[in-house]
Homo-oligomer: A and B are copies of this chain.
Amino acid sequence: MEINNIVIVGSGKVATNLAVALKSIEKNILCIYSRNVENAKKLAERIDSSFTNNYCDIPDKADLYIISVKDSAIAQVVSEMKVQSGIVVHTSGSVNISVFNDKFSDFGVFYPLMHFSADKQVGFSEIPLCVEANNTSNLETIRRLALQLSHNVHTISSEQRMILHLSAVIASNFTNLNYVIAEDILKKNKLSFDLLRPIIIETANKACNDSPAKMQTGPAIREDTEVMKEHVRLLGDLPQYQKLYKLLSDIIIRKKRDHEL
């Protein structure tokens, strides 16, 4: 089966980027549903679709229903939706496919592993799309759609997807927090975060061109206790940062001694 007519439930960053990308490959977006009708309207106008904030007005004969709302709201949306045909998917990294078990007969997952922005449309061609379905026929249908958007499509089980999501939290959300902490320390000392931009980009590029385990540098891997002591002292009035510095340095030293770095 080829998917042509699509309903999107949600109007956030993932829903918006996905809707625009699907429109760009000439899919017909029948309707945008959002609790907030203004948000639904705004997105619908961009992609020439109808919109609603009423579950009863969602067309019930689309080929695909994409639920792209926050994780904790998915079960509620599933319970409210009325669907006569087509496949229902969600886009979450952490919600098990079993959320659909008692409600629908054709369902799956369509998880794009990316940070989307509200104000910037991302090209999908490189984005890993992680797909799953309740049977091989639905999986084939979902994969075919995914491959029209990206050449980076992976069939991933719910258990693997949870691990992948956890890894993305560490490599992306926690990495961003590192940047935030660095910015914070610099600001407190009237230094500009701009100074770190080149090394941040280089670090990300290096890790991605090879294995990050080969790229570890810094005082901890050199076991340079003088420098580490001085850093901990400089973080004296920031106890959470100090704790973090010690823990991360301990992990690096342990991994080095275990020959993992």
A interface with B by C-beta (< 8 Å): 70-72, 94, 113-115, 117, 122, 126-128, 130, 152, 154, 156, 160, 162-186, 189, 191, 193, 195-208, 211-213, 215-222, 224, 226-227, 230-231, 234-235, 240-241, 243-245, 247-248, 250-252, 254-255, 260-261
Contact = CB atoms under 8 A, between A and B. Distances in A.
A172 B94 contact: no
A162 to B, nearest CB: 7
A118 to B, nearest CB: 11
A226 B189 CA distance: 37
B211 A193 contact: yes
Q: Is the interface of A mostly helix, strand, loop or mixed?
A: helix
A247 B240 contact: yes
B168 A196 contact: yes
A127, A165, A191, A199: residue with the most chain B Cβ atoms closer than 10 Å:
A199
A217 B186 contact: no
Contacts of A260: 180, 184
B216 A240 contact: no
Contacts of A115: 199, 202-203, 206, 215, 217
A185 B227 CA distance: 29
Given A113-B199, A183-B211, A204-B201, A163 B178 contact: no
Given A217-B173, A248-B244, A251-B244, A168 B180 contact: no
B169 A219 contact: yes
